[in-house]
Structure 1
Amino acid sequence: MELSGIAALVTGGGSGLGAATAEVLASVGAKVCVFDLNAEAADAVAARIGGVAAAGDVADAVAVAAALDAACGLGPLRLAVSCAGIAPPARVVGRNGPHDLALFERVLRVNLTGTFNVLRLAAERMQATKPTAPDGERGLVVNTASIAAYEGQLGQCAYASSKAGVVGLTLPAARELARSGIRVVTIAPGLMETPMLAGLPPAAHDALTRLPLFPQRLGAAADYARLVLAIAANPMLNGETIRLDGALRLPPQ
């Protein structure tokens, strides 16, 4: 896919993986709509990259539709990247009793329902674009799962379930949308350098850094963003979940 001149939506674009993705897409000529629950963060990234900002909940159909319409105003919508997500830890049965059901439902709503909401509404608009040569491609949707979908740790039942759902929808969605020339690919990051991890005591941070086999470091947001570019460039990547983890396999805790 040629990214120069296309329109793209990036959810969770106000920080972290989403901000890095929005920045790298803009650097290769894409026109980006930065969508985030935090309106100020979305505005800041959009201003920095010459894009537009939109704020809202990824599971809100009206808010996502408005963001996609804003993206369509920038050019032909051919790319949507879902980076929005939450990961509150909670045990199935903890010191204060069983896992809060409302918390479990909230994690699924943001991580899984929100991802599907972006997928369905972006695909609808992509179907209206003209196919590009040589493969007749109309668009690409990149989802974000996690290696916790495969090796969820203690306290990650809600998070791992939501990300396993994202992995599970990838292939059937790609199969459905193939007739329209729309690809669906998911990235499953491992341990990524985030403000939360950066705030850990040095000993704990160093221990996490040693878990990936090679390279022996935490993943960077730029690693994720570069993979988005690689997926866009290779039309044979479709219906697959790609681990981005340095051969890491998560221990139970």
Structure 2
Amino acid sequence: MRISRRTFVISGGSSGLGLATAQNLLEAGAYISVLDLNPPPEQLHIQSGSSCQEYNARVKYFETDITSLSDIERAVAGTVQWFKDSGAPLGGVINCAGVGLPSKILDYKKEPHPLDRWEFVMAVNLTGSFNLTRLCLPHLASVEPELPTEETRDTSSADGERGVVVFASSAAAYEGQPGQTSYSASKGALVSMTLPMARDLADYGIRVVAIAPSMFESPMTDKMKPKVRESLRKELVFPKRFGRPQDFAQTVRWIIECAYINGETIRLNGGTRMPYKL
């Protein structure tokens, strides 16, 4: 699917994986609707040298608590009005908003996992992704299917595709560590719903793909002690580094452009499997 002059909704688009994805797609000519609690940083820009005015015209920010249905509804309605005004039809939904609250099922005092922590992780990682996706889908399914034009004769657009849904899962869906019961459950659910959702949406020409990153550079890994980081680095296969947000963004872009990847979860880990514990 072509990226240029298509609108992509990115939850969690103001930082981390979501921000890197927004940057990458902007450079390819996309319009980006950012849903986040905080606005994207001012340094988000177009590397090609486009003017700030052009950039501002292709980015729309909606302050959104992804656990709030009314916030999501408002953001989706605003995005729909925006792409109708801009003439850049909806191209996909990229779910990057996520949290992790470590907690063992029984702590050292034999106290059970706090229910409020479980519910919050599920509300952000799973229900938030589901709600944003389901509310965008009627609009995505109404987009004119992408077909080759006389000018471009682009055979990659000959499938009549309408759009793409991307979920940010995690290696924890497969190799959760101690304290990751709720996080792993939420990320595993995203993996499990990818294929049936892709099958549900096949008749509409909408693909669904999940990405399961492993050890990535993040605010959490930045806070790790040098000894812990070095221990993790020894587990890496190749490259011998943590993943970078740009690696995730590049994968999203490939997913959008490659029409034959569908109903699948891509493990983005450099050949590494998460160890039993840090």
1:208 aligns with 2:216: no
Amino acid paired to 2:221: L
Amino acid paired to 1:2: R
Residues 218-247 of structure 1: CA deviation (Å, up to 9, x unaligned) = 000000000001001110111000000011
Superposition TM-score, scaled by structure 1 size: 0.94
Mean Cα deviation higher: 181-190 or 121-130: 121-130
1:31 aligns with 2:39: no
The structure number with the bigger radius of gyration is 2
Q: Sort the Cα spacing of 1:144 and 1:207 in 2 relative to 1 into closer, same or farther, 3 A.
A: same
Correspondence for 1:125: 139
Matching residue within 68, 73, 79 for 2:76:
68
For structure 2, the residue ranges without an aligned partner over 5 or more in a row are: 47-54, 148-157
Matched-pair identity in %: 39
What is the CA-CA distance between 1:65 and the residue it aligns to? 2.6
Query: Residues 143 and 185 of structure 1 are in contact (CA less than 8 Å); yes or no, is this contact kept in structure 2?
Result: yes
What is the CA-CA distance between 1:104 and the residue it aligns to? 0.7
- Partner SS state of residue 124, structure 1: helix
Matching residue within 47, 58, 74 for 2:66:
58
Aligned equivalents of 1:44, 1:172: Cα separation in 2: 39
Correspondence for 2:163: 139
- Partner SS state of residue 250, structure 1: coil
Correspondence for 2:96: 83
Correspondence for 1:105: 119
Aligned equivalents of 1:251, 1:47: Cα separation in 2: 37
Residues 36-56 of structure 1: CA deviation (Å, up to 9, x unaligned) = 122xx3364778853110111
For structure 1, the residue ranges without an aligned partner over 5 or more in a row are: none
1:7 aligns with 2:21: no
Mean Cα deviation higher: 91-100 or 65-74: 65-74
What is the CA-CA distance between 1:58 and the residue it aligns to? 1.8
Q: Sort the Cα spacing of 1:43 and 1:219 in 2 relative to 1 into closer, same or farther, 3 A.
A: closer
Correspondence for 2:17: 17
Residues 157-204 of structure 1: CA deviation (Å, up to 9, x unaligned) = 000000010001100000001111111000000011012212222222
Matching residue within 162, 165, 182 for 2:189:
165
RMSD: 1.6
1:239 aligns with 2:259: no
